Amino acid sequence: MSARSLHVAVPRTAAKSSARRPQPVRSLVARGLADRWRSVLAWGIGGGLMCAFTAGVYPSIQDSLGQALEGYPEGLKEAFSIGELSSVEEYLSAEAFGWIVPIAVSFFAIRSAVRSIAAAEEAGHLDALMSAPVSRRELVGATFITTAISTVGVLALVALLTGTSAAVFGAGLSTGLLLAGTANVWPFAMVFGALALVVTGLRPGPGVTTGVSGAVLVAMYVIDLVGKLADPVEFLRHLSLFKYYGMAIRDGIDPLAFAGITLGALLLAALGAWLFDRRDLDG
């Protein structure tokens, strides 16, 4: 007798008096977001205050910036994408959105992804959850969506505080460019959140997953920096996501780069789900 025919043979004793369609991804995302609002506030307000300060001081220092920059080596200015700094957008790009913000928000995404699976697995929290009808792929998918929404929350706070500060101090910040600059961080950070899911699929535990994903992020930044400073190794920049990240707060979003990076994040998340599906769960 086939397994299927036996399956038909078994009665269902579960009383589904008030049954509805199972929604594992929706339920997991709702729970994940409820668990994360404090960390979204902490990371969003932290990053937002830093950017708000940067935007707020610009009007008072913009006249002296030109003189200060004259003494900077050209290579250094190029490495840190420092142009004339003749606008608050350029200043924000050089001081925050060119490196600190994408690195910090990427770490947030890594931690969010690690929390839902690798950390939960190490703490033994997944056994009860995975005894319910939720597939490994749904768990990874829900984690990716939760991380994506949480990251939007962090970036929205950053944009809100930065825009408010710029308006209060009369920095003349373009709302469109501010939104473009913050939105551009999202796919970048999601790549590293998804990378954490790939590493999770290889089962090294939460510490190593965070470490490896963070190390790749920092390594990409260093490669990009070195590539800008030294022409002979400039080609290495192709290995870094920072090369494709651009300066959206100054130039607006490059739709092709935005879509490509988003696609990369989705592919990494899919790879993570495939790897996670194939391995044992630690108990």
Q: Which amino acid is at 184?
A: N
46 in Cβ contact with 159 (< 8 Å): no
Smaller CB distance to another protein: residue 78 or 127?
Answer: 127
Tokens at 91, concatenated: 């200043």
Q: Decide if residue 42 touches another protein (CB under 8 A).
A: no
Among 18, 64, 73, 255, binds another protein (CB under 8 A): 18
Write out the binding residues for another protein, residues 105-124 only, by CB under 8 A.
120, 123-124
3-state secondary structure of 201: helix
The CA-atom distances, in angstroms, between 217 and each of 175, 222, 243 are 28, 9, 13
CA distance 47 to 278: 37
Only one of the segments 3-11, 49-57, 143-151, 224-232 lies at the binding site for another protein (rule: CB under 8 A); that segment is 3-11
R_g (Cα) of the chain, nearest Å: 22
Is residue 28 a contact residue for another protein (CB under 8 A)? Answer: yes
Q: How far is CA 50 from the centre of its chain?
A: 18
Q: Which of 76, 129, 168, 267 binds another protein (CB under 8 A)?
A: 129
- Quick one: which segment of 4-12, 62-70, 153-161, 180-188 binds another protein (CB under 8 A)? 4-12
Among 39, 62, 135, 174, binds another protein (CB under 8 A): 135
Tell which one of 5, 67, 70, 176 touches another protein (CB under 8 A): 5
| DSSP state string for 59-101 | HHHHHHHHHHHHTS-HHHHHHTT-----SHHHHHIIIIITTHH
Q: Which residues here bind another protein, judged by CB under 8 A?
A: 1, 3-24, 26-28, 30-31, 35, 120, 123-135, 278-281, 283
